[in-house]
Amino acid sequence: MTHDLTLPSGSHTAEGLAERALRDPHRPRFHFTSPGGWLNDPNGLSHWNGVYHLFYQYNPLSAAHHRIHWGHATSTDLVHWTDEPVALVPGTDGPDRDGCWSGVLVDDGGVPTLVYSGRHGEQELPCVARGSADLRYWTKDPANPVITAPPEDIDITAFRDHCVWREGSGENQVWRQLVGSGIRGAGGTAFLYESDDLRSWRYVGPLLTGDASQNRGELDWTGTMWECVDLFRLGEGDEAGSTDALVFSAWDEGTTHHPLYWTGRYQGDTFTTTALHRLDYGERYFYAPQSTRDEHGRRIMFGWLQEGRTDEANAQAGWCGVMSLPRVVTLATDGGLHQAPVPELTELRRERVEVAPGRPAGPYTRLHAVRGDQLDIETTLRLAPGATARLVVRETPDGAERTVVEVSRAHDGASGTLRLHRETSSLDPSVDTEPRYGTLPLDPDGRVDLRVLVDHSALEIFANGRALTARIYPTRPDEAVGVGIGADGDVTLERFDAWRMASAFTDGPRPLWP
């Protein structure tokens, strides 16, 4: 299949966005996408009276990041989503005239309340909106912006995005808020504020500041600004048995780099770090994540899968931006975060294909029984020192286009690598085909639990709890449905199951303004 690059005049207008989006073979079918137009960060994530609410950065007018609204969708199972009325629209004037940027939802004594960044000109400032009981209709606070300027006397790189929580007990309860920022000449930071009513905020100070002079250009560079800071505790108790995580997305001069997190301890007005980690090896393909603790006590996280094709291709497609599958985040045994898709997603599994356990036959075997562009593949492998296993997806019959997921174990046996080769994922020279990789934690037995979810252009990989998310755009999408496995060295296939995944959305266009 090739894209029709000639479009009738007017096709870049809002007209027909949802219809065009539907025809795009690269559009995922079981990941959440906007009805059409542009989608970026997850916002206001919450589980409210049994209903999951996913708000998101949305431009219903074009597939471009401009005058951002808050889209809204609900779900009772984290699998099927219902579009709800657009929650926030930029004002005709006022602090959010140029966009309602990222933020969160909190429960203010039973009143659903959004805290978001209003954009006016080049400046973003904190704003508040209160919701109806069903979270469908939102009224902006006349006092917006509720913080009228960034902290005085600090030369900042930017100031936006919010993490808000209630802290303390009885009379001493207080709202606390982090606003993502950066201190010029120092590094990214999260400014801490305090409030009694979500309206009037007292500046406390920087909770933690990174050092932008360290590791510039590396995959764990902390950037000059921290976008979408998210602070949460995993595990129970104050000290032993629990860890705090401070998640942020490293940004610099308009470039979205990658999501990172510090583990450590939040106490008083500071965050004492233990270690810095990469959150997703796909870098900007899992950006601006936000999480919430659901009513079952699980930490659920979503991130934004950016596009890897050109702005022009996005405009022609009529849509862009994918929401990740919801992930359950838990504490890994090595002190980092373990990520896995929510178990609810198995509801979409259809025909199962099982491959007999054993040793993968040589460098490559095409699995003719497994085919598709909507797949969930779950496998357990055992790697001897020096061995590499490969899982190939979205392969054309001639092998000209193929995407390779690779797990390998170092010769000394101690460490491993998870790698995604996208170099041959598409013959289209205009799409991003850079490889991605990161460390794979391995026990001495060399066991790798690998899960690969393929949803047209969206790919989510989980290997021993580490995530790697990316996008791929084969030029012959209808033919790029092949799957295969291969190995170099001593690899045992202990289990291999694959399922076709049903679509989570119906076939018709979804209204841009539900």
Q: Is 424 in the site for ligand DQQ (CB under 6 A)?
A: no
Interface with ligand DQQ (CB under 6 A), residue total 14
What secondary structure does DSSP assign to 360-396, as a single string? Answer: --SS-EEEEEEE-SEEEEEEEEEE-TT-EEEEEEEE-
Rounded CA separation 421/392 (Å)? 10
Among 34, 74, 117, 181, binds ligand DQQ (CB under 6 A): 117
Tokens standing for residue 100: 């309602």
> In the Cβ-directed half-sphere of 301, how many Cα atoms lie within 13 Å?
31
Nearer to ligand DQQ, 256 or 396 (CB): 256
Q: Is 102 in the site for ligand DQQ (CB under 6 A)?
A: yes
Rounded CA separation 287/156 (Å)? 22
Among 24, 161, 280, 406, binds ligand DQQ (CB under 6 A): 161
Report in angstroms how near the CB of residue 270 gets to ligand DQQ at its nearest: 23
With CA atoms as reference, report the closest residue to 508 among 13, 81, 19: 19
Report in angstroms how near the CB of residue 165 gets to ligand DQQ at its nearest: 19
Is 161 a known active-site residue?
A: no
With CA atoms as reference, report the closest residue to 448 among 361, 386, 389, 404: 389
Q: Is 193 in the site for ligand DQQ (CB under 6 A)?
A: no
Report in angstroms how near the CB of residue 117 gets to ligand DQQ at its nearest: 5
Contacts 24+ apart (CB under 8 A), 504-508: 504/29, 504/30, 504/31, 504/32, 504/79, 504/80, 504/81, 504/348, 505/29, 505/30, 505/81, 507/22, 508/22
Q: Is 248 in the site for ligand DQQ (CB under 6 A)?
A: no
Among 40, 189, 388, 433, binds ligand DQQ (CB under 6 A): 40
Report in angstroms how near the CB of residue 123 gets to ligand DQQ at its nearest: 12
Q: Is 57 in the site for ligand DQQ (CB under 6 A)?
A: yes
Backbone phi, psi, residue 315, to 5°: -60, -40
Q: Is 227 in the site for ligand DQQ (CB under 6 A)?
A: yes
Among 160, 176, 258, 409, binds ligand DQQ (CB under 6 A): 160
Pairing of strands 270-278, 287-293: unpaired
Among 101, 201, 221, 281, binds ligand DQQ (CB under 6 A): 101
18 three-state secondary structure: helix
Catalytic residue selected from 4, 24, 41, 220:
41
Contact 303, 56 (CB under 8 A): no
Q: Is 307 in the site for ligand DQQ (CB under 6 A)?
A: no
Binding site for ligand DQQ (CB under 6 A): 40-41, 57, 68, 101-102, 117, 160-161, 227-228, 256, 287-288
